[in-house]
Structure 1
């Protein structure tokens, strides 16, 4: 349970950092980041595997580079599923694409340091 909470908070912090770096990627508050982190986790657990199976031929042909596009699509789905009142908004595919790359890097770094502290 502790690991889940640490990962959840780390992802929320990574979302806030990503929103400050990527234009078109908006997080209103820390509560919005926490809600968005839950929605992103659910999308990655439920929708992303289906997308991965459907897009496997394209991913294979592009030597895995299409997975960046799948990450961006999953992030856009998570933004669409998050209630607008929370303030997690992604304006366009370009922001989702760049945001997914930055979010992956930042959350990996943050979660690495949070696991070292545990």
Structure 2
């Protein structure tokens, strides 16, 4: 497992030290289309499989114990989904799955299959 603290996700835009806000309104249903898979958090069981990107709460922190792992088709989808989770009041980390080659989000959102997937229908 690699856990980065000062990688490209934390670097200021254009070297000017500013974060540029990009206001996007997403419903929970729309945000769920940003991921192709959601499952119960299994980070502790397979920690060597994942790189944890950016700064934040440690991925093995108890806040994630009942959480959800969500995997995306693109980096942009993962970044938007991460922003949605944080904006919804959840603790979240960007993750990279070395086994599957997918970027995703580890969220403190309690994993409830029906709560996530019924919104796609």
TM-score normalized by the length of structure 2: 0.30
TM-score normalized by the length of structure 1: 0.30
